[in-house]
Amino acid sequence: MADYPTPHINAKPGDFGKTVLMPGDPLRAKFIAENFLENPVLVNNVRGVQGYTGTYKGVKVSVMASGMGMPSIGIYSWELFNVFGVENILRVGSTGSLSADIKIRDIVFGMGASTNSNYARQFQLPGTFAPIADYKLLSTAIECAKEVGANFHVGNILSSDTFYDAQADANEKWQKMGIMAIEMEAAALYMNAAAAKKRALAILTVSDNIVTGELTTAEERQNSFTQMMQVALDTAVAMENM
C-alpha cells in the first residue's frame, strides 16, 4: 500500500466511505455533497478537485471529482482503490448519445467500455483486454433506476481520448459496432478496478445527442442530472447492506 496523503489526495484511510461517487466536474461533486449528503465534510481539495464525505440514508458515502479524461480518473481511482481502501467507485458523468433513440437526460449504464486509448498497455497483457463494469454494481443500479422510474439503457460505451477527433467519420464507425454513447473516463476506471480487484460502474446522463444535435448547457450538466445522482446514491446504500 502506498504512503498517504498522496500527491493528489490530501486525506487518510477512513476519510472516504466504502463507495465513492465520481463525477468529472468538481462543481458537480460539490452539488451532490450539498444537496444529497447529510453533514458533508470536505476531505480533499488538492488542485481544486473537491472530495466530500457524509451520509446518505444513514450510510457513509463519499463524492470526489475525477477531472476529465482517462489519465486523470486513472490517478484518482488508483489512489482511492489502492491507498484509501475504497471498494466501489460509481462514475456519475455526462455522455454523448450515438443513437436517436437515446434521448437527452436518459441514463446510460456502461456495461462495457470500448476505448481508443492505450491505457491497457501498461498491464502488458498478451491480447486485448475488455473493460467491463462489475455485475453486482450494475444489476443493483438497474434495480435502483427502475425504482425511480428512470429511462435507462444498458450496453457498450466508448471511452475516447479525443473530444475533437481528426477523423470525421470516427463516431459513425463506433456507432456501426453498436456503441451507445461516448465519454472519456470509464475504460480506465474499469481497468483500475480489475487490477485492484475492486468494483466500478459508469452511470451516465445523456448531455447531448450527436445524431440529432440536441444538447444541454454547462450549468444543466452541473446541477440538473439529479436522477443519475439518486440512482448512484441508492446503489451505494444497497451495496453497503449486501
Question: pLDDT tens-digit profile of 191-236?
Answer: 999 999 999 999 999 999 989 988 888 777 666 689 999 999 999 9
Would you state the pLDDT for residue 218? 74
CB of 204 within 8 A of CB of 110?
yes
Would the CA dihedral through 43, 15, 190, 94 be positive or negative?
negative
Band the pLDDT of 89: cuts 50, 70, 90. Answer: very high
Whether 22 contacts 75, CB under 8 Å: no
- To the query of whether residue 169 is one of the catalytic residues in this protein, the response is no
Grid cell of 159 as nine digits: 471511452
Grid coordinates representing 233? 446514491
C-alpha to C-alpha distances, 48 to 8, 30, 66, nearest whole angstrom: 10, 11, 11
Q: pLDDT at residue 1 above 60?
A: no
**Alpha-carbon gap, residue 191 to 134, rounded angstroms:** 11
**Which pairing describes strands 38-44 and 88-97: parallel, antiparallel, or unpaired?**
unpaired
Q: Which three cell numbers stand for residue 214?
A: 440536441
pLDDT in the model for residue 44:
86
The one catalytic residue among 15, 25, 106, 208: 208
Average pLDDT over residues 124-141: 97
Question: What mean pLDDT value characterizes the chain?
Answer: 92
With 0-12 CB in 10 A as exposed, 13-18 as middle and 19+ as buried, what is 211? Answer: middle
**pTM listed for this prediction:** 0.94
Residues in the chain: 242
The H-assigned helical ranges of 83-159 are 135-147
How far apart (Å, rounded) are the C-alpha atoms in residues 240 and 204? 22
